Structure 1
Amino acid sequence: MYTYVSAIALFIFSIASSCCVAQNPLDFGSNIKTADPSGHIWADGRMYLYTSHDQECQEDFYMKDWHTFSSSDLINWTAHGPSLSVADITWADNYAWAPDAAYKNGKYYLFFPAGTGVKDRVNPEKSTKWMGIGVAVSDSPTGPFKDAIGAPLWTDPYANDPSIFIDDDGKGYLYFHGKGADYLVAEMADDLLSVKGEFHKMDMGGYEPKMEGPWVFKREGMYYFTMPENNRSLAYYMAKSPFGPWEYKGIFMQEEGGNNHHSIVQFKGKWILFYHRWLMGEGECKKKQRHTAAEYLHFNADGTIKEVKRTREGLTK
């Protein structure tokens, strides 16, 4: 018999279920603010996320370390703590921005941007900010990572947001956001500790909007160059070579009022888009900060990417 008590119980159960099902942002077991998630699957089959770390109510984007998380089901995550800090780097003391990772030659590599100085947003001519890309190495996918060369890979151009892509033949390619020098790729030496030859300016088919955070992946023989177009909406190109020439295909995730940074990786037969969302802070911090989220990503028959909507349920839907 359906009673008042059973109705109350059903209501409580439905509230509890909806509370527990929602997975965006991802639950890392604390109130840590993370951004720029770089997803990778290593030999143990787990998903590893390498992220930047927003300090609580931080000034500008002054960031100090990078964190690693892992999961076997994309719902329950293990936090492995900081994997590298600017305190461990001799050539930079700030701007621990978007990292990426790779595995090669029995080692795990963390490519990271870091810098020095101050960006004066009111009087840009007074800015002293500089950023470069470094590489750190570890025997473990969770670190700790150690700066491998004690210097940035190069000093000119100013660069950040590295994306390291290892092709099927083992060759490594580094894509990055550069000051006045976007849409460049560098082939890496076999040990991934230096650039092989010159930077290659890629043919983007005549369309080169302002960008940050590139991410390159390969699917069914096609290469995908994806990035936050105008630093906001996620867009992509396709090509038959890691150097291009690239054909612009459009936006697959619209902006949400702040910058975005993402990664795309196949996990147990499904394609996953990791990205960050801007959510209002709680407590004393009354400003929006970034949180890592995830959605399923789907392709059309011709290989193009279907539009992705942000959801509260994320990977539980």
Structure 2
Amino acid sequence: MMIYGPATMALAENPIIQTCFTTDPAPMVHGDRLYIYTGHDENNADFFWMQEWRVYSTTDMVNWTDHGSPLAIEDFSWGDDRAWAPQCVERDGKFYFYVPLHSKLSGTMAIGVAVGDSPTGPFKDALGHPLVDGSWDYIDPTVFVDDDGQAYLYWGNPEIYYVKLNPDMVSFDGEVKKIIQTEDGFGAPGPKERVEGKKYRDNYTEGPWFFKRDGKYYLVYAAGGVPEHIAYSMSDSPTGPWKYMGEIMPLSDTNSFTNHSGIIDYKGKSYFFYHTGKLPGGGGFARSVAVEPFEYNPDGTIPVIPPTDEGAPSVGTLDPMRRVEAETMSWSKGVSTEMNSKTGVYVSDIHNGDYIKVSSVDFGSVSPAKFGASVASALRGGTIEVRLDAVDGNLVATLEVPGTGGWEEWRYIEAPALMKVSGVHDLYFVFKGRKGPKLFNFDYWNFK
């Protein structure tokens, strides 16, 4: 048997989630992981009919683990529709999840907050009522805790509102304040002050993302009306005055008339998250999260960042000798994920010809002897072909999946390794079986 050595370093592939439509990415770093909190466009939607929020995480920027949906409209007794753009932050060991949704109380949009003990939940409505309520433009919250401990919550479309949160992160003193938009601050005055027919440099639309870097405050937002591009303003103070700085992601061929961004540093590098409509079946109401690496200019300004299909390079590797969740992947074709309280998240909707790609898998210098996986099938099962560096690459192992008696009747099955492998590679799990029916579900895998 030949020994296959290291392959080239992997790149991410955009969009970074392919198992469902995801929107409005809000990144957060906790420990050694980067988490993104997203919305979820439903299949075949003709508007922003969104029912839940989802969480994904990575340690290497190429493989993303699906943590399912820890929060949905039903978790808020006062909400009944439109689970739109979220953000989650940590403070004093608690995780605060800020979300907009339609309020039964006011009949308009409102912002609520849920709290949990981990980045992936479970989360519970912290108040039993909205944090702020009573206006159709109360959407798209962004939250930031400053160095002095003061937390700020910004939101709004087409106005920009903010409050200073109390240390408990679920209340505030005083009134909701509105930022006065000016040409110098945002490229145009507020919507009520704009002169009809006058061409402005730009204008704030929605989706603010608020953060601080090297003593400067940044407000990044969707701009220009519809279709949207991404622009930003900067300030020396968390509440302004703001100065318009220009476009970050100009109008591009993203197949989405909206955009929504989040910016964060992770493992010494800077990343710009946004969404497109580039998955098969995608579009303005079927969006998908993407990411681009970038470097700040020497003066702290943000460069123009075009969308790409390549995304970010790997900043780590994955250990195949430990249990790896099947829902951890860098790319997939055909599959989706499901979740229940007993198993957690697993890969489903597997049909003949579908596959999963896992990038930057480090086999080290000791070649594995066995491959194993936890699988379930209510029918006759199928086959998992484990291949190296391509869908039709060298065959590492072949695992025959039998019928197990049910779609959640799990069995762990092993197969011998068919070749020696060392170094870092991409792995492809290629699924084979009878054409047409669903074959099996896939929970986790490992080599031994």
Interval containing the TM-score (normalised by the shorter chain): 0.7 to 0.9
| Residues 22 and 135 of structure 1: CA distance in aligned 2, closer, same or farther (over 3 Å) | closer
Name 1:81's counterpart in structure 2. 68
What is the CA–CA distance in structure 1 between the aligned matches of 2:267 and 2:12, rounded to whole Å?
21
1:84-130 per-residue CA deviation (whole Å, 9 max, x = no partner) reads: 0111211112100000011112210000001158xxxxxxxxxx962
Among 24, 28, 53, the alignment partner of 1:40 is 28
What is the CA–CA distance in structure 1 between the aligned matches of 2:299 and 2:204, rounded to whole Å?
27
Is the 2:12–2:311 contact (alpha carbons within 8 Å) kept by the matching residues of 1?
A: yes
Name 1:31's counterpart in structure 2. 19
Name 2:124's counterpart in structure 1. 146
Which stretch of structure 1 is more off in the superposition, 194-203 or 222-231?
194-203
* Residue 184 (1) aligns with residue 161 (2): yes
Q: How does 1:241-280 map to 2 (within 5 A)?
A: 241-256=237-252, 257-279=256-278
| Residues 298 and 278 of structure 1: CA distance in aligned 2, closer, same or farther (over 3 Å) | same
Is the 2:140–2:206 contact (alpha carbons within 8 Å) kept by the matching residues of 1?
A: yes
5+ long unaligned stretches in structure 2: 1-6, 190-202, 315-448
* Residue 298 (1) aligns with residue 295 (2): yes
What is the CA–CA distance in structure 1 between the aligned matches of 2:131 and 2:284, rounded to whole Å?
35
Name 1:133's counterpart in structure 2. 111
Equivalent AA in structure 2 for residue 24 of structure 1: N
Among 144, 151, 154, the alignment partner of 1:165 is 144
Displacement of 1:300: 1.6
Is the 1:205–1:248 contact (alpha carbons within 8 Å) kept by the matching residues of 2?
A: no
Name 1:105's counterpart in structure 2. 92
Displacement of 1:298: 2.2
Is the 2:219–2:233 contact (alpha carbons within 8 Å) kept by the matching residues of 1?
A: yes
Q: How does 1:173-252 map to 2 (within 5 A)?
A: 173-178=152-157, 182-206=159-183, 207-208=188-189, 209-231=203-225, 232-252=228-248
What is the CA–CA distance in structure 1 between the aligned matches of 2:210 and 2:293, rounded to whole Å?
17
Secondary structure, counterpart of 1:314 in structure 2:
coil
Secondary structure, counterpart of 2:312 in structure 1:
helix
* Residue 312 (1) aligns with residue 339 (2): no
Displacement of 1:280: 5.5
What is the CA–CA distance in structure 2 between the aligned matches of 1:116 and 1:197, rounded to whole Å?
22
What is the CA–CA distance in structure 2 between the aligned matches of 1:295 and 1:280, rounded to whole Å?
17
5+ long unaligned stretches in structure 1: 1-15, 118-127
Secondary structure, counterpart of 1:161 in structure 2:
coil
Is the 2:47–2:285 contact (alpha carbons within 8 Å) kept by the matching residues of 1?
A: no
- Larger Rg computed on CA atoms: 2
| Residues 57 and 262 of structure 1: CA distance in aligned 2, closer, same or farther (over 3 Å) | same
- 1 or 2, which has the higher helix percentage? 1
What is the CA–CA distance in structure 2 between the aligned matches of 1:129 and 1:24, rounded to whole Å?
37
Is the 1:280–1:288 contact (alpha carbons within 8 Å) kept by the matching residues of 2?
A: no
Name 1:61's counterpart in structure 2. 48
What is the CA–CA distance in structure 1 between the aligned matches of 2:284 and 2:163, rounded to whole Å?
37
1:141-183 per-residue CA deviation (whole Å, 9 max, x = no partner) reads: 10111111011112233301000111111111000014x6x12
